[in-house]
Amino acid sequence: MAHDEPLWLVPAPEGHSPTMGAAAVPDGFRPLDPYDLDAAALAHTPGILVSGMCDQRHLARWREQFDAFLHAGGRMLVNGHVVDPWVTGLPRWRLLEYHGPRDLGITRLASHPVWDGIDVDELLYRSGPYIPRTRDSLEQFGVAGFYGRGYLLDLPEDVTIINGLGPLRAPIDVEMPVGEGRVVVHAGLDLAIFARTPGTTLTRFTDNIRNWLGGAV
């Protein structure tokens, strides 16, 4: 398999709103609108980062090609709420019943290169740029639940649950093998957005994702 840059599938990659999604392409990724996807793109990448903003019905039209890509050893990191699986066996998303921040905390259940060096306690709250990232300030002014407010259903037997959500530790981040390849599913906001949180361990996400998708780890 070719060892070019990982693909970043995201709608209109040059036209993002800074308030809604990534304003710039993560370092080391090749952005591609999913409507421009073709066989050549899949043939020249070791891995694919899929934004949760993609049209899942369109991606489902590529299920056969995605399955073949993964069976041949490719890697994929899926963000968002999967309701129309575009890879065979991809787990679906379900909303978690929650009543406050305590129900939305993240617990590390297994080590994984994508979350290497990430302090999961920093994932609970997000805030505006003028709120200091101290625990007291975030608890008072931050908003909980951006990382995820749901969990994954219909997990295959050989899945690895990486992170759990809330007291039930419901699976929010998992890895599953597909042939010779691997799929990581994150049932929440795109991880690349968290990577732009200065002063935290979350800035490691970009390097971690790129290295994992590229097969370096």
Sorting pLDDT into bands at 50, 70 and 90, what band is 68?
very high
Residue 17 in domain: yes
Rounded Cα gap, residues 155 and 1, in angstroms: 28
Residue 143: predicted pLDDT:
83
Residue 22 in domain: yes
- The CATH number of the domain where 181 resides is what? 3.40.50
**Cα angle vertex 80, ends 77, 85, to 5°?**
75
Residue 1 in domain: no
Residue 196: predicted pLDDT:
86
Residue 82: predicted pLDDT:
96
Tell me the per-residue pLDDT of 21-67, one tens digit each, with 9 for 90 and over: 444 667 789 999 999 999 999 999 999 999 999 999 999 999 999 99
Residue 22: predicted pLDDT:
44
Residue 191 in domain: yes
Residue 62 in domain: yes
Find the farthest-apart pair of alpha carbons in the chain and give their distance in angstroms, rounded: 50
Residue 80 in domain: yes
Look at residues 89, 99, 216 and name the one whose alpha carbon lies nearest to residue 149.
99
Residue 83: predicted pLDDT:
95
Domain count, the chain: 1
pLDDT reading at 206 higher than 50: yes
Residue 141 in domain: yes
Contacts of 137 (CB under 8 A, 6+ apart): 127, 131
Domain that residue 55 falls in: 7-213
pLDDT reading at 15 higher than 60: no
Residue 2 in domain: no
Residue 129: predicted pLDDT:
65
Residue 20: predicted pLDDT:
43
What are 132's two structure tokens? 């200091």
Residue 127: predicted pLDDT:
73
**Cα angle vertex 156, ends 81, 185, to 5°?**
30
Tell me the per-residue pLDDT of 103-155, one tens digit each, with 9 for 90 and over: 999 999 999 999 999 999 999 988 766 566 666 776 766 788 999 999 999 99
Residue 132: predicted pLDDT:
66
Tell me the per-residue pLDDT of 154-186, one tens digit each, with 9 for 90 and over: 999 999 999 999 999 999 999 999 999 999 999
